Chains A and B, each alone.
Chain A
């Protein structure tokens, strides 16, 4: 019997578990998954909670609902991986050995990385929306807030779902307009990037959206600290932005267990081959999703495209062949723009988001880099796909590699 061990039962780990379970021969393989938590969160839904569009029940399900029968599930924290010994030590003192390891330990916010961020205003006037706690606390705050300076601030890149902060800004504009409060709310988008987004064409388009929606853009701003007393954020080069309500996207880091294992970079992300998804230096360790240091977006769609590639490469490596499938950095993101509309972007390592139709050339039904109601419906339908199809490892009608069909250069 060979042991396949998966660390982390989030989006990426659960998808891999289901894919392997339905494909590997059970008389030859023991499959084990380790996670310390019982609840699976639909993280794309956190964005909608502050505005009352989703409630907590829309985004939670027990992890066990997505575990197939016949796999070993261990509920425990991970102490560390000992990659040279092919072992994983758990926080409960137990030790697991593996033949092949899949690391899917994700990324999470680390607000204590910024001076004063998790200070006296935390969850009073400063909120994140990347955790269920933050999203719910912000939802409560917004129920009674009568307006003032709303500042949305990205601390540093990379972050999970790089479009979510922009979506938050657009939805806030829509939310306050519908509440007849928009003229009392000044929205400022403060980013360490030089523009609204990372990719030039999309950045220009999204920058125009900010302008049209009367959202101020402060770019090249790297936050050094939060002044809780005077309600200001201050950059390393000593620029200041005042806030009444700060919605922060704190530094994102990989899991602490990765640091304890000595396997991460300065943010605990694991150096990973950007094409094969094999951990640098270890031929029996694959890394998937947010845990990698790949220059692709940290998003569920990316993990989904990686899952197919990882699976095929795993099969090759198992047979003693060279891993032949190459991940191209494919990402596909619906961007909510408020007032029941959305934009869709589709891109990879080499090709930035382009206009066109998706997934079928000329037909769509979704429009790339264009604001439509259909794109918004796509985003809302995605929750159903996520719970019912994606996590179960079933193929979506989408290719893993990005396609140029339907795109206009």
Chain B
């Protein structure tokens, strides 16, 4: 099982490189993953998305799609791409300590 150090803790990762355990996550870890993904600082808008994603995942057991994010998080698609470049749903899920969205088949 792959592990990686974030914010001073050794954490287990899944096959996609996302955190394996939802409860390992905290805000410092989110910042560390974000900086690894090229996002230097997490703004209030980033946190709005991250908090929405974690809430959704805990309720629905699946990370939301971009369409759902833009409809329900209060952040539209254009801004989502600006906040989390190159695939907002995937990237925001990773920073939020969630598995990659199942999305499509």
User: Which residues of A215-241 are within 8 A (CB) of B?
Assistant: 220, 222, 224, 236-237
Please tell me if the beta carbons of B104 and A224 are within 8 angstroms of each other in the complex.
no
User: Which residues of A98-151 are within 8 A (CB) of B?
Assistant: none
Q: A295: which B residues are within 8 A, CB to CB?
A: 102, 104-105
Q: B104: which A residues are within 8 A, CB to CB?
A: 157-158, 162, 193, 198, 295
CB distance from A163 to the nearest CB of B (A): 11
User: Which residues of B80-101 are within 8 A (CB) of A?
Assistant: 80-81, 85-87
Q: Which of B1-9, B20-28, B41-49, B60-68 contacts A (4 or more CB under 8 A)?
A: B60-68
Contact partner, B103, options A157, A199, A267, Cβ 8 Å: A157
| Contact count A vs B, C-beta below 8 Å | 39
A131 to B1, CA, bound (A): 47
Residue B71 interfacial (CB < 8 Å): yes
Please tell me if the beta carbons of A296 and B81 are within 8 angstroms of each other in the complex.
no
Contact partner, B81, options A193, A236, A266, Cβ 8 Å: A236
Please tell me if the beta carbons of A220 and B68 are within 8 angstroms of each other in the complex.
no
Please tell me if the beta carbons of A266 and B105 are within 8 angstroms of each other in the complex.
no
Please tell me if the beta carbons of B102 and A156 are within 8 angstroms of each other in the complex.
no
Q: B85: which A residues are within 8 A, CB to CB?
A: 237
Contact partner, A237, options B68, B72, B81, B102, Cβ 8 Å: B81
Residue A18 interfacial (CB < 8 Å): no
With most chain B CB atoms within 10 A of its CB, the pick from A224, A265, A266 is: A266
CB distance from A191 to the nearest CB of B (A): 10
Query: Per DSSP, are chain A's interface residues mostly helix, strand or loop, or mixed?
Result: loop
CB distance from B81 to the nearest CB of A (A): 4
Q: B77: which A residues are within 8 A, CB to CB?
A: 224, 236
Residue A313 interfacial (CB < 8 Å): no
Residue A337 interfacial (CB < 8 Å): no
Please tell me if the beta carbons of B65 and A224 are within 8 angstroms of each other in the complex.
no
With most chain A CB atoms within 10 A of its CB, the pick from B72, B78, B102 is: B78
Looking across the interface, which residue of chain B has its beta carbon closest to that of A271? B60
User: Which residues of A284-331 are within 8 A (CB) of B?
Assistant: 295-297, 329
With most chain A CB atoms within 10 A of its CB, the pick from B72, B85, B105 is: B105
A2 to B44, CA, bound (A): 56
User: Which residues of A238-295 are within 8 A (CB) of B?
Assistant: 265-267, 295
Q: A266: which B residues are within 8 A, CB to CB?
A: 65, 67-68, 71-72
Contact partner, B105, options A222, A265, A296, Cβ 8 Å: A296
A222 to B67, CA, bound (A): 11
Q: A220: which B residues are within 8 A, CB to CB?
A: 86-87
A174 to B102, CA, bound (A): 34
A237 to B102, CA, bound (A): 22
A162 to B80, CA, bound (A): 26
A237 to B71, CA, bound (A): 19
Q: A193: which B residues are within 8 A, CB to CB?
A: 104
Looking across the interface, which residue of chain A has its beta carbon closest to that of B62? A295
0/1 string, A173-208, CB within 8 A of B gives 1: 000000000000000000001000011000000000
0/1 string, A58-88, CB within 8 A of B gives 1: 0000000000000000000000000000000
Looking across the interface, which residue of chain A has its beta carbon closest to that of B85? A237
A198 to B102, CA, bound (A): 11
Please tell me if the beta carbons of B105 and A158 are within 8 angstroms of each other in the complex.
yes
User: Which residues of A334-351 are within 8 A (CB) of B?
Assistant: none
A199 to B105, CA, bound (A): 7
A231 to B36, CA, bound (A): 37
A237 to B78, CA, bound (A): 8
Please tell me if the beta carbons of B105 and A237 are within 8 angstroms of each other in the complex.
no
Looking across the interface, which residue of chain A has its beta carbon closest to that of B71? A266
Please tell me if the beta carbons of A222 and B103 are within 8 angstroms of each other in the complex.
no
Q: B103: which A residues are within 8 A, CB to CB?
A: 157
Known: A157-B104, A224-B77, A237-B85. 8 other contacts (CB 8 A): A157-B103, A158-B104, A224-B78, A236-B78, A236-B81, A266-B65, A266-B72, A267-B67
Interface residues of B (CB under 8 A from A): 65-68, 71-72, 77-78, 80-81, 85-87, 102-105
Interface residues of A (CB under 8 A from B): 156-158, 162, 193, 198-199, 220, 222, 224, 236-237, 265-267, 295-297, 329
- What are 14 A-B pairs with beta-carbon distances under 8 A? A157-B103, A157-B104, A158-B104, A162-B105, A198-B105, A222-B81, A236-B80, A237-B85, A237-B86, A266-B72, A267-B67, A295-B102, A295-B104, A295-B105
The 9 lowest CB-CB distance pairs between A and B, nearest first, are: A157-B104, A236-B81, A266-B68, A158-B104, A237-B81, A266-B71, A266-B67, A295-B105, A198-B105
